[in-house]
Amino acid sequence: MSEVTLAATTPSATAGKTPRKTGTFMPRLIVGAVLLIGWEVVVRLLAPPYVAKPSTVLMAIPGVLTDPAFQAATGNTLAAVAEGLAVALVIGTVIGLLMGRSPAFESSFRHYVNGFYAMPMIVVLPLFSLWFGYSSGTRFATIVFAAIFSIIINVADGARSVPRDYLEVARSFRSSRSSVLFGIVLPASMPYLLAGFRLAAGRALIGAVVAEFFLSIGGLGYYILYNSRSYKHAEAFVGVLLLAGFGVGFELLVFWVTKRFMPWYRRER
Amino acid sequence: MTASAATIAQPTHDAGAEPLIRVHGLGKHYGALEVFRNIDFDVGAREIVAIVGPSGCGKTTLLRCIDGLLPHDVGEILVGDQRVIDPIPGVAMVFQHFGLFPWKTVSENVAYGLRMAGASKADIARKVPIFVKMVGLAGFENAFPYQMSGGMQQRCGLARALAVEPSVLLMDEPFAAVDAQTREILQFELLRIWQERPTAMIFVTHSIEEAVLLGHRVIVLKGRPSGVHEIIEIDLPEPRNRDTLRLARFAELRERVWATLMREAREAEFVLER
């Protein structure tokens, strides 16, 4: 990740990228190959034939990706995660900003936020399923619950550490309270907000999968569960790989958004 | 001294006009620490008053009180007929730390004060380029602060303050964070801009040269708790420019401010912290 950042910053770094990339690329490739070969060998020697191994997973990929049930399940889960994240982002940002800038708000909310943040999301599932039924409503609530507290905590940290210089300028130019909060504190907290959002995205994905396991409702998590229970381990594993891919994809998305819309970030201070 | 200085007619810049800023018996504490007491001075509507003093004497605190950023405990500050307790319209400040928002471009930073003052979009679109050009940043409208040198950043800070067309400009060691050559360039740019649109200006600095070059009067503050030690009339010819630096009178006045300040600085330096 770090060499990607550098390369994107200056043209001269792009020239220096190639030798460094090959320097880290080969060891990376070797480690990956050793892991895969070890896995293949161990499973072939010791495990029953239905246990997933790299060769069968690779062969299962085309079939799984073109399977309409798999596509629907993936779309279903992703839509739920996106929806839950959007809600968590908006509400979490507002609460975080208020907590960061108002001591009264901070002291009344702090312990609840920290407590809920530390609470394993799986323990709320039985409760949520009582309130919202065995439905996508419960999954949505779980995603929001999983995501919102890391956003609140990070945004509050960001809002607290806004440089005093900015606030002084805002006051000198007679800015209103709300324009300080959304015009100064929010953009100044963007790096923190992004860090919180990245954490939240990972947690939201976990929340969605766990909810699907628990509730047996359609989605990628349930697809994985169903296939591994029907001895289709290779197919289940394609789903697992896709979840890992989402993590990487999301990281890249955040990086691109940062570069495109916040060129000043990482260069100031 | 203070009373007589205020009533002396200013040669070319402020003949006979009512003072725009009046500071009367101003005092300020931080808890038990008394920062300054009994500060008295006036500033004319078209006058530059420079404030110098030993470091730590509260020059910047005084300026923040005048901007309404900090509350004062005793006395009063009047701008026109308005008492200052909070920032008021018509007064703009240029900060030592520039105070530019890193996520805004030059144009957006310059527009900030206007937006906060409730100017219309059309008004902002019309005015911003004027002030960007005035400070010499034409062509850099879409640059971000991180792409600019310190000198360019402070030009942007100056344009932001000028854009609200204030009647009072407060300058808090604005050129202290830029290198020596840039500082000199910016001083003459500031003089040129002031001659184009004169305002009342209070200029806090720790450079004696800068104070004498820019100020129509120089206020020397004394050590802690500080007060006005002396107000020195700077009777240099207008308009001030590079030639001003070569005048014998300039050297004389600089020496005079220096001598006054050094007495204070030495006393302030050899004080143990309590």
Average model confidence (pLDDT) across chain A: 86
Q: Write the residue in B69, B145, B164 that is nearest to A168 by C-beta.
A: B69
**ipTM value of the model?**
0.85
Measured distance CA(B175)–CA(B183) in Å, rounded: 6
Residue type, B237: P
Rounded Cα distance between B21 and B80, Å, is: 6
Tell me which CATH code domain B2-90+168-269 carries: 3.40.50.300
Contact B116 A175 (CB under 8 A): yes
Chain A residues near residue B103 by CB distance under 8 angstroms: 187-188, 190, 262, 264-265
pLDDT band of B269, cuts 50, 70, 90:
low
Best mutation target, B94, B101, B160, to test chain A (most A CBs within 10 A): B101
Chain A contact present for B258, CB below 8 A: no
Query: Does residue B264 surpass a pLDDT of 80?
Result: no
Domain at A53-261, CATH homologous superfamily: MetI-like (1.10.3720.10)
- How many angstroms separate the CA of residue B146 from the nearest CA in chain A? 6
Residues contacting B197, CB < 8 A, separation 6+: B162, B165
**Going edge to edge, which strands form the sheet with B91-94?**
B91-94, B168-172, B200-204, B48-52, B217-221, B228-233
A-chain CB neighbours of B101 within 8 Å are: 166, 169, 184, 187-188
Shortest Cα distance from A52 to chain B (angstroms)? 49
CB contact under 8 Å between A264 and B164, yes or no, is no
- Over residues A202-241, the pLDDT tens digits come to 999 999 999 998 888 888 888 898 988 888 888 888 999 9
Contact flag B95-A165 (C-beta cutoff 8 Å): yes
Whether A188 and chain B come into contact, CB under 8 Å, resolves to yes
For residue A21, the model assigns a pLDDT of 56
Q: How far apart are CA A162 and CA A186, in angstroms?
A: 9
- Residue B87: list chain A partners with CB under 8 A: 171-174
Mutation pick from B116, B154, B168, B170 vs chain A, by most beta carbons of A within 10 Å, is B116
Predicted confidence (pLDDT) at residue A269 exceeds the cutoff of 80: no
- CA B24 to chain CA centroid, Å, is 18
Chain A nearest-CA residue for B93? A172
Q: A232 versus B100: which is more confidently predicted?
A: B100
| Any A CB within 8 A of B93 CB | yes
Rounded to 5 degrees, what are φ and ψ at B235?
A: -95, 55
pLDDT mean over A27-37:
91
Q: Could you read off the pLDDT of B16-47 as tens digits, one per residue?
A: 567 899 999 888 888 888 888 888 999 999 99
Whether residue A11 has pLDDT greater than 60: no
Give the angle B213-B179-B184 at the CA atoms, nearest 5°.
Answer: 25
CB contact under 8 A, B164 and A173: yes
Q: Confidence class of residue B55 from pLDDT cuts 50, 70 and 90?
A: confident
Of B73-77, B89-93, B265-269, the least confident = B265-269
Euclidean distance between CA atoms A163 and A158, whole angstroms = 10
pTM above 0.90, yes or no: no
Residues forming beta bridges with residue B28, ordered by sequence position: B36
Is A46 within 8 Å of chain B by CB? no
3-state SS assignment for residue A253 = helix
Spans of all domains in chain B:
2-90+168-269, 98-165
Q: Which helix (H) or strand (E) holds A192?
A: helix A190-215
Q: Is A182 at the interface with chain B, CB within 8 A?
A: no
